[in-house]
Structure 1
Amino acid sequence: MQQYPPIPAIDDEAVPEFAGHLWLLEAVEGSLLRFRIGESGAIRFGGEQRVYRDDDAIPRQCRRAVRHVRERLDRAALRDAVDDVSSVTFVGWATHRERIDYDWDRLPPFLGADVSAGDADTFRPPAAAEAIFDRLGLDPANAVERELHSRDFDPERYRFPESAWYDGAAAGVVIRDKRGGRALLRNPEISGESENPIDAEGGDSLAAAVATDRRFERVATRLEECGQAPTVDELRERVLEDVYREEHGRLFGGGRAIDESAFRTAVARQAQRFLRG
């Protein structure tokens, strides 16, 4: 799987000299997620620095995005488009909460940003990458500006747009040019740790706080829409994925830790109660 070059902050020495027309993508809170499809059709995932050896190595806050990619990716469309599917690396963000409480029903678990074919350190232009993700059934990152001439972009005077995914300003923008140049301009108004950290001791109290009936109902509906009957195991795993995605900053911000084994057991008990009605 091809490595992805780090995206420097706009004031970093590593920022390229942008030229031509720029695309500005909304930066959504989350983790960088790469994936590549093997000849067998299995998808291998990786983060910013490493490839995950198995599902247990995938960070908890990214597991909802991994499931989303596996369920939504149109493998047939990809095989029709390229001769060697294993030569293509896809890059995007596994979206999860750190400080911002997004509209989780609207924000996709994965947003695509870049596509590379072959071993060269080159990625497709922004418009091409957007079209590829659309064709393969995955949502591309939201473009807040397209074809903005580089001479008209001043990061010091830039006014951040409203986010497409909640009622508030974007966390930042990723600046892209067609030669592969990238930089991140963060919104200085959004900083610090997540507000309202979850203060619950023990698995049962934590499960009562975050494994709510609404979350179980959402998961049960998704399963039924796919023709699957909700079971305790499926409800537990999927609710945990949603919780770790939607509450990550409130659970683990500032170095906080929880007893994940006790929490998992408590969520299973909640799932049993939910199924009993």
Structure 2
Amino acid sequence: MHPYPSIPSLDSAADELLEDGHLWIQELIDGDLLRFRIDGSGGLQFGDRSRLLSPDDIPMEYRYATQCVERSLDYEAALSADLDGVVFYGVATYQRTVPYDWDRIPPVLGINVWDGERFLPPDTVEQAFKRLGLDPINTFAREVRATDFDPESYTVPESNWYDGQAYGVVLRSKSGNRAAIQAEQFREPEETQPTAPDPAKIVDEFATPGRLERAAATLSEQGGAPESDALFDHLFDRLLRQEHRALVEGNADLGRVRARLSKRINDSLTN
């Protein structure tokens, strides 16, 4: 699967990025790279930045994102296209530094497409993800004259996904040049070691009656029955995504987390 090169800072980017042409300015998301491709039968293969991911051993930070792709992908549109050699790239979103609104931000946001020979321009990338039924990264500004962009006076705008400044922006040209500008407040994040969490408290604050009702409604809309096992599968990986620092980095007892969440779901179904 074709690799995805790191996005350089503006200081390290190619000089021609700001010398000619037009720029798309897109939100830089605080997440991890997720690659995927679709074979001729509609099968999906996933990878992170450096390796392929086994279907039986998806890392916790990618589980909700890969499930989103599998569930949301328009397989009819995918199979009607020639996707030989095509690789899609997205950002898997989970709790890291930025306090995103986890009820709004998609589990994966599409950022680029390799067509087998080159990376596609941003407008084509946006259309490609929409055709597949997936969300592309949000764009703050389109077709900005490169020579008019002044990095010295530029201020990173408010995020599309929470009430606060974006993690940064990515400048992209249709010729393939890119650069990232990170918001000042996130350039040197405070290093804090997650404390040992109370699984019961975390689960109880997450699995509110309203959230359980919304999850059941979502499953019904998707054609599934809101039964205990289905609700658990739907909510457990979402909980790990939203509380990644406390549960995963904090080495929580996931057995206790599972048991507590299962009890909350069963209680909601019997009441």
What TM-score, normalized by structure 1, do the two folds share?
Answer: 0.87
* Alpha-carbon distance, 1:55 to partner: 4.1
* Alpha-carbon distance, 1:199 to partner: 5.9
SS, match of residue 155 in structure 1: coil
Q: Which residue in the other structure is 2:14 paired with?
A: 16
Instruction: Read off the aligned partner of 1:87 and give its amino acid letter.
Output: G
Q: Which residue in the other structure is 1:48 paired with?
A: 49
Q: Which residue in the other structure is 1:104 paired with?
A: 102
Aligned mates of 2:189, 2:265 — CA distance in 1: 34
1:217 to 206, 213, 217: 213
Q: Which residue in the other structure is 2:89 paired with?
A: 91
Aligned mates of 1:184, 1:249 — CA distance in 2: 25
SS, match of residue 97 in structure 1: coil
Q: Which residue in the other structure is 1:266 paired with?
A: 260
In structure 2, the CA distance between the partners of 1:44 and 1:133, relative to structure 1 (3 Å rule), is: same
Stretches of structure 2 that go unaligned for 5 or more consecutive residues are none
User: For 1:107-151, what per-residue CA distance to the aligned partner results, in whole angstroms no more than 9, with x for missing partners?
Assistant: 222111111121x3x200111111111122111111111111222
Q: Which residue in the other structure is 1:170 paired with?
A: 166
Aligned mates of 1:168, 1:205 — CA distance in 2: 27
User: For 1:55-87, what per-residue CA distance to the aligned partner results, in whole angstroms no more than 9, with x for missing partners?
Assistant: 42x2212222211111221122233232xx242
SS, match of residue 161 in structure 1: coil
In structure 2, the CA distance between the partners of 1:65 and 1:101, relative to structure 1 (3 Å rule), is: same
2:115 to 102, 107, 117: 117
Q: Which residue in the other structure is 2:74 paired with?
A: 74
In structure 2, the CA distance between the partners of 1:226 and 1:199, relative to structure 1 (3 Å rule), is: same
Q: Which residue in the other structure is 1:35 paired with?
A: 36
Q: How does 1:56-71 map to 2 (within 5 A)?
A: 56=57, 58-71=58-71
Aligned mates of 1:132, 1:157 — CA distance in 2: 33
Preserved contact between residue 42 and residue 78 of structure 2 (Cα < 8 Å)? no
Aligned residues: 267
User: For 1:147-169, what per-residue CA distance to the aligned partner results, in whole angstroms no more than 9, with x for missing partners?
Assistant: 11222223232111122222222
1:148 to 144, 148, 152: 144
SS, match of residue 53 in structure 2: coil
Aligned mates of 1:32, 1:260 — CA distance in 2: 25
Aligned mates of 2:21, 2:245 — CA distance in 1: 38
SS, match of residue 144 in structure 1: strand
Preserved contact between residue 98 and residue 193 of structure 1 (Cα < 8 Å)? no
Stretches of structure 1 that go unaligned for 5 or more consecutive residues are none
What TM-score, normalized by structure 2, do the two folds share?
Answer: 0.89
State percent identity of aligned pairs.
Answer: 41
Preserved contact between residue 25 and residue 144 of structure 1 (Cα < 8 Å)? yes
2:197 to 200, 207, 212: 200
SS, match of residue 33 in structure 1: strand
Aligned-residue Cα RMSD (Å) equals 2.3
